[in-house]
Amino acid sequence: MSVSKKIVLLGHFGVGKSSLLRRFVENTFSENYMVTIGVHIMKKEVAVENDAVTLIIWDVEGTDDFTKYRSSYLMGASSFIYVFDATRAITYSDLKYNLNHINEKFRGIPVHVVGNKVDLVDENDLLKELEAQEIKHSYLSSAKTGKNVELLFQDIAAQLVTHAQ
C-alpha cells in the first residue's frame, strides 16, 4: 500500500520547526535562522513495514496566537506536530490553551508535542519543569544533533498507516 499524508508543523516563532523539517528530509542543520513566511512544504517517503508513506510536511509560519493560523494551512491534515523550544518557557506556557484550540477545531487528528533544542538544556531539569506545569510531550528532540527526529516522523508514519487500514 502506498499513501500520502499531510503533516503540519505548528509552534511559536523560532522554536525550530524548519530545522526539524530540514533535518528529517535533507539530514542537514544550519545555525542561520530563516523566518518562514506563510508555509514551506517538503515531502519524504517513509517505509513502514511493507507500506510506503509519503509524508507531505507543511512548515507553517510561527505565531503566538494559534487562533490566527489560516485554516487553509491546517485543513486536510492527518497529524499535527506542535513544537516548543526547550530553552524558552514562553513557547510552552500556553501549550494547553493551544492544544485545546487545535483539538476543538480538528477533532480526532493526532497532535504530537515535541520539545526541540534539548541539546541546549539539562534534560532532567526540563522534564521536572514540564511535569510541574503538567505538560505532556511526545518527544524531546534536537534538530541540531538529530536526536529523535527520525523516530518522530517514523512513528507518525506508522501511526497513520495503522489508522488507514
pLDDT tens digits, 26-36:
999 877 766 67
Residue 21: the pLDDT is 96
Has residue 1 got a pLDDT over 70?
no
Answer yes or no: are the C-beta atoms of 82 and 135 closer than 8 Å. Answer: no
Q: How confident is the model over 103-118, as a mean pLDDT? A: 94
- Sequence-distant (≥ 6) Cβ neighbours of residue 101 within 8 angstroms: 66, 67
* Confidence check: pLDDT of 65 > 80: no
Q: What count of residues does the chain have? A: 165
Domain locations along the chain: 2-164
Pair 92, 129: CB distance under 8 Å: no
Question: What confidence category does residue 66 fall into, taking pLDDT thresholds of 50, 70 and 90?
Answer: confident
40 within 8 A of 56, measured Cβ to Cβ = no
Q: Is the CB of residue 7 less than 8 Å from the CB of residue 60?
A: no
Any idea what DSSP says for residue 121? S
**pLDDT value for 58:** 94
Q: How far apart are CA 147 and CA 116, in angstroms?
A: 9
Kindly tell me if the per-residue pLDDT of 70 is higher than 80: no
Q: Please provide the average confidence, as pLDDT, over all residues in the chain.
A: 90
Q: What is the pLDDT of residue 38?
A: 65
What residues contact residue 139 under an 8 Å CB cut-off, 6+ apart?
Answer: 112, 113, 114, 115, 148, 151, 152
Query: Of 106-110, 126-130, 131-135, which range is least confident?
Result: 131-135
The CATH superfamily assigned to 2-164 is P-loop containing nucleotide triphosphate hydrolases (3.40.50.300)
For residue 157, give the amino acid letter: A
Q: What percent of the chain has pLDDT over 70?
A: 96
Instruction: Give the residue-averaged pLDDT of 132-153.
Output: 94
Asked whether the beta carbons of 59 and 9 are under 8 A apart, the reply is: yes
Query: What's the chain's Rg over C-alpha atoms?
Result: 15
Q: Are strands 139-140 and 51-60 parallel, antiparallel or unpaired?
A: unpaired
The pLDDT value recorded for residue 25 is: 96
Contacts of residue 85, Cβ cutoff 8 Å, sequence gap at least 6:
11, 12, 14, 15, 16, 91, 92, 115, 116, 117
Which residues are bridge partners to 46 per DSSP? 53
pLDDT at 67: 73
Band (165; pLDDT cuts 50, 70, 90): low
pLDDT for position 61: 82
